[in-house]
Structures are given as C-alpha cells and as structure tokens.
Structure 1
Amino acid sequence: MKILAAQPKLVELVQEAILAEIASGKLPPGARVIQEQLAQELGVSRQPVQQALLLLRNLGVLREAPGRGLQVAPLDLEHVRNMYDVRAVIEGLAFRKAAERNPQRAAAEGPAYIAAGREAVAAGDVARMIQADMAFHAFVYELSRNPLVAPAMDTHWANTQRVMGEVLMRDERPRDIWDQHEALLHALMEGDGRKAEKLAREHIQQAADFMIDRLQREAAPA
C-alpha cells in the first residue's frame, strides 16, 4: 500500500482556518484564494494548503476563478434551502434524543456552552460566535447518543458555517440566537423530547428564513 505523504490532521486544520476566514467575511464571495499567501500566513508548506483548497472546492465553498486559481463561491439560494431542510430534520432528531437520554448531563454541562456563546456575542467576535454555536450543537449530538448524527451533519458544516457567518454579520440581534439556544437547553434539562425537537426545528427554520430572504433581496435587480 502506498505511503500517505500528507498529514490528514494538518490538512483538516488548514481547511478549518480557511473556512473560518470565509465565514467571518474576511474572504468574501469572489475573493481570490492564493495558495502561496495562505501557506505563508498559516506557517505551513503549500501541500496541505493545496489539499485543503481542493476539499473546499469539492464542497462548493470555492470555485475556479477566471484565468486560473480559485475564488470564494457565492452562496447558492437553492443549496441553502435544501441544506436547511435536511438540517432541520437531523437537528430535531438530535435534540429530541438528547432530551430523552441525557437531561442530567445537559443540566450539568450545558450552561457553560450558553455562557461561552453570550461572551462571544458581547465581544462582537463573529469567529468566536460561530465556534460557540458549533460547539453547542456538537454537544447536543453527543448527548443524543446516536453515533450517526455527527457524521451526517459533518457533510453540511462547511456550508453551514458560511451561512452562519452571513447571518451573524448581518443580524442586528445575534443575542436572540443564544436566547433560543438557552430555551433549547431548558427543554433538554426537562427531558422533554417533543418540546426540544419542536424548538430545534423552529430555530433552524428561522435561520433559514432569514438567510434565504437576504439572498433573495441581494439577487434581485436594483
């Protein structure tokens, strides 16, 4: 068997770093992504950067730029709508199972995730807000004790992060997101699976409606 030359963990870290720049708006749609520059900024060789860029291109986050190279792809309205449809189902299941199977752990550990999210909002740091949001949802996936939930969501997180970044940068009331998260946590702590699933679906649907409305308005001719 051929020896693998690249370090998978390093490629993953580079991919996450590039995605964070895109999600935070530092690399907006249409921005060219220059391999050599990224390698220098991240302090790594060009090989892991090249592989990370190819992965992001395959996920639709990047696309071929005119001439040569890659650029940040615009968000696609239909893809966003489909992604949120799928996410609402998976998240609803995860929150319901988490409430039914792990209310004690939700009560013991959940408040720290809410506090971290509110601190990120207070700091106005979009990257931290995204990280806190992802950490809270990953915590719920773990509480669900369904090992298929996290892998199912992994395929959507790259584009989900982008959409979250757009929402957080444009939403004048990001604090409301953590009010919703806190309500979700209380449903988990109460062990109320039906309520947790309902709130989770509503939470995802509100984010979807907000982002789709933004995309439609931006796509409309002036």
Structure 2
Amino acid sequence: MSETALLSPLEPVVRASIADQVFDVLHQQVLSLALPPGTKMSEAEIAKQLNVSRQPVRDAFYRLSKLGFLLIQPQKATQVSPIHIQDILRARFVRTSIEVEVMRRAAQGLTAQALAQLDANLAEQKQTVASGDRARFHRLDDAFHHLLCQGAGVGFVWETIHENKAHTDRVRYLSLSEGSARAMEGHIRILAALRARDAEAAVAELRTHLGQIEGIIADLRAANAAWFSDEG
C-alpha cells in the first residue's frame, strides 16, 4: 500500500494574470485619485511604463470603464471620468436598501463564529486607523460589510453591493485620510446593536453610517469642484 497521502480534491492555484495585475495597478491609482478625474490615459504610454503589451492595458481600460472610472470615446483620448453625484446617490440608495434587510437578518442569525470574525476585522481596523493605512482600511471596510452579508446568510448580495459602490469608492477613499476613525466607530456601533439582537438600532446605525457620504461629497466638492459632475 502506498504511503503517499491521497489529497482531497483541491481548487487549482490561481495566479493573477498580467491583465489582472495591470487592472489592480490602474484601479488603485484611479481609486486613490493619484489619477484624478479628467486625466488623459494612453494605452501605449501605460503599456510602456508597466513593460507589458497593449492588450492587458486595453482589457484593464475596458474593466475600469464598466465600473464607471474611465470614459472611452472612439477617436478621442481616454479620460478618467468625473465623479458623478447622481450615480453616487443612486448607488447609496441601492446599497442602503439591501443592507437594511441584511441588518434585520443579521440581528437574528449572527452566530458566535460570525461575531468572532467581525470582532477580528474590527481589531484590524483599529490597527489600521492607528497606522494611517487608507488602502488597507478600505479593504477591511469592504470585508466588514461582506462578513455581515455572509453572517446574515445572504452572502450573494455582496456582489450587487460591490458593483454599485464603485461609484462611491473614490469619494470614500479620499475621505479616509481623516474619516477612517469615524467609519470604524460606525462599524463598532452597528456590531454592538447586532450583538444585542436589536435590529432597529442596527438599521438606524447603518443609515447614519452610509448617510455620511452626502456630507463627504459636499466637503470634497468644495475643495475640488472640477472633479465632480451633476450628470448621471
């Protein structure tokens, strides 16, 4: 009998393709506003800078355009799109509508394991706020809300939330230079209400938490009016 252990079926190891790597680099640059709205982008120039062929750059441009981050027009320069106020408000409405129901389900169904995962996420958030790492906090913020969806038994809705929130991500990311602690405190209050099984308190905290985006828009627009558009 062979002494070699028989492995259970495993998922193949997935390595990021060049196209994925190019997308990640450009996505982070647009998200952080290192490439602000109105910036002209050339496939050829970016391919040269990243030392890749033009095809993965073209693929990344397409993906970013589907998220609403790039404006691709035939015979014209590709540009980073403005931040559309109406798109943000619509996305906030969709997200709030979904996550209100998530709160009600989570208040009833969060298990001890789910609560432990959320506590661990908050512990990491505290470390990140202390270190001022906006990129990591942004990822942990997303993970917190994703964990809430999973804990409520509706993890599948995160894909819809994630698609819609792309419109708000640039505003959220920019606000994290000063707003990380405030966002984390909102998470703490949401989790406290859920731990107490108080669905309505959790919903109220969620509405306050997500509703802060309007004040953030006003502040950022006052400082960077050219980045924003009222068109949807």
Instruction: Give the direction of change, closer, same or farther, for the CA distance of 1:104–1:59 in structure 2 (3 Å limit).
Output: same
Any conservation in 2 of the 1:106–1:188 contact (CA below 8 Å)?
A: no
In the TM superposition, what are the counterparts of 1:32-181 in structure 2 within 5 Å?
32-39=40-47, 45-64=53-72, 68-169=76-177, 172-181=178-187
Distance 1:36 1:65 in 2: 16
Residue 211 of structure 1 is matched in structure 2 by: 216
TM-score (norm 2): 0.78
Greater helix fraction, Structure 1 or Structure 2 = 1
Cα shift at 1:87:
1.3
- The alignment partner of 1:174 has SS state of helix
Partner residue of 2:191 out of 172, 185, 190: 185
Worse-matched range after superposition: 37-46 or 98-107: 37-46
1:143-201 superposed Cα distances (whole Å, 9 cap, x missing partner): 121144112213213223222112224xx343111111111112222222222122112
**Residue type at the aligned position of 2:192:** H
**Residue type at the aligned position of 1:21:** Q
Instruction: Give the direction of change, closer, same or farther, for the CA distance of 1:23–1:144 in structure 2 (3 Å limit).
Output: same
CA RMSD of aligned residues (A): 2.8
Instruction: Give the direction of change, closer, same or farther, for the CA distance of 1:107–1:60 in structure 2 (3 Å limit).
Output: closer
Cα shift at 1:209:
1.9
Distance 2:155 2:142 in 1: 17
Any conservation in 2 of the 1:77–1:215 contact (CA below 8 Å)?
A: no
**Residue type at the aligned position of 2:137:** M
Cα shift at 1:203:
0.7
Instruction: Give the direction of change, closer, same or farther, for the CA distance of 1:156–1:12 in structure 2 (3 Å limit).
Output: farther
Any conservation in 2 of the 1:167–1:210 contact (CA below 8 Å)?
A: no
Higher Cα Rg, which structure: 2
Distance 1:192 1:94 in 2: 13
- The alignment partner of 1:15 has SS state of helix
Cα shift at 1:130:
0.9
Instruction: Give the direction of change, closer, same or farther, for the CA distance of 1:159–1:13 in structure 2 (3 Å limit).
Output: farther
Identity across the alignment (%)? 30
Cα shift at 1:74:
1.4
Any conservation in 2 of the 1:88–1:201 contact (CA below 8 Å)?
A: yes
TM-score (norm 1): 0.81
Structure 1 unaligned residues grouped into runs of 5+ = 1-6
Any conservation in 1 of the 2:146–2:155 contact (CA below 8 Å)?
A: no
Instruction: Give the direction of change, closer, same or farther, for the CA distance of 1:212–1:41 in structure 2 (3 Å limit).
Output: same
**Residue type at the aligned position of 2:185:** D
